[in-house]
Amino acid sequence: MKKMLLASLALTALFSTQALAEDSNMYVGIDILKNSHTVTKDSSSSASMSKDIDSNSFKIKLGTVSENGWRVQGYLELLTYDTTLFDNTNDTLMEFGLDVIKGFEITPEFTPFIQAGFGFGFMSIEEASEDSISEFSIKIGAGVAYKIVPAFELIAGIDFQYRSWQDVTYIDAWDIATLETSEKNTKLYLGANLHF
């Protein structure tokens, strides 16, 4: 996982340099997301299983956009699963991430885009040897941005994301079990950006 994180940081730095080479401006925004997850769990003491669940989330973001259509944005996403993942108490994930976006302006108002990014998050858990666990995610996606006025735009898009969770160890009187968990997600979202 450390190699994936270092590779992602190197690629982001490479793209960020080009994206910021020209004059740029900043924006803040918020996205509302509806997510579908396929969660796969592999346990050292039982068979592998997969489960489909949904979640809702919102994302607060801060980014920069250059004249040549490149954007780099950082975000904080708060995600609530419809069901718990690891025990009876956890259903909320907090993730920080970075996206690199390339827009293709059709008109001054209408811009389709593609993006790639990564995130790192945390979730509190109980009933395991850990109090909280972390995750690492990578994603690709596409969408459209529509400028209502030059300083305000609406966006819509879809992302495909892979998330790998830290292994969780459960200990009871009879057994020690290690749980490996991963997710494949489809994220649909609507949002707005305010440029300044």
Domains of the chain are 2-195 (2.40.160.20)
Of 19-23, 119-123, 151-155, 173-177, where does mean pLDDT reach its minimum?
19-23
Give Cβ neighbours of residue 119 (< 8 Å, ≥ 6 apart). 75, 77, 95, 96, 97, 98, 136, 137, 139
Q: If you average pLDDT over residues 155-172, what whole number do you get?
A: 90
Q: Which long-range contacts (CB under 8 A, 24 or more apart) does 101-106 make?
A: 101/63, 101/70, 101/71, 101/72, 101/73, 102/69, 102/70, 102/71, 103/65, 103/69, 103/70, 103/71, 103/145, 104/69, 105/69
Banded model confidence at residue 138, pLDDT cuts 50, 70, 90 = very high
**Per-residue pLDDT at 24 exceeds 80:** no
- In this structure, of 68-72, 73-77, 105-109, 165-169, the range with the lowest mean pLDDT score is 165-169
State pLDDT tens for residues 72-98. Answer: 999 999 999 998 887 777 789 999 999
Identify whether the C-beta of residue 164 lies closer than 8 Å to the C-beta of residue 136. Answer: yes
Residue 51 tokens read as 């489960």
pLDDT value of position 173:
59
127-147 mean pLDDT = 91
- Is residue 14 pLDDT above 70, yes or no? no
Give the pLDDT of residue 23: 47
Supply the mean pLDDT for the chain: 86
Residue 34: both structure tokens together: 């509806």
